Amino acid sequence: MTAVDNNGNIVLIEIKRDRKDIEHRKEAFEFQALRYAASYAKIKSVDELVDKVFAAYIEKYKEEFDLGALTANEKAVRVLREFLDKNYNLAR
């Protein structure tokens, strides 16, 4: 799962709940975490995060979002900017 903290930093969250998956894993969890981090390390801004991750999520689950006349990218920018505007000062 990908998230954004109050400062606009990307946060990766991985929850392992499937015991069989855990037991039959061919590599240590740390390597999976490193692969995830490496793939997201190329994202340098909130705008890039929107373009590469959040807009695609909104497009896939658009029935959960009130898009109106907005594109998925426009809605993603608005949602993320509203979150940061509301929460940035709380993190300081």
Q: Which residue has the higher pLDDT, 92 or 14?
A: 14
Amino acid symbol at 84: L
- In tens, the pLDDT along 74-92 reads 999 999 888 888 887 665 4
- In tens, the pLDDT along 31-65 reads 877 888 888 888 888 788 888 889 999 999 989 98
Domain ranges of the chain: 2-91
Q: How far is CA 77 from CA 6, 24, 32, 57, 61, in A?
A: 15, 39, 29, 12, 16
- Mean predicted confidence (pLDDT) in 3-12: 81
Per-residue confidence (pLDDT) for residue 89, from 0 to 100: 63
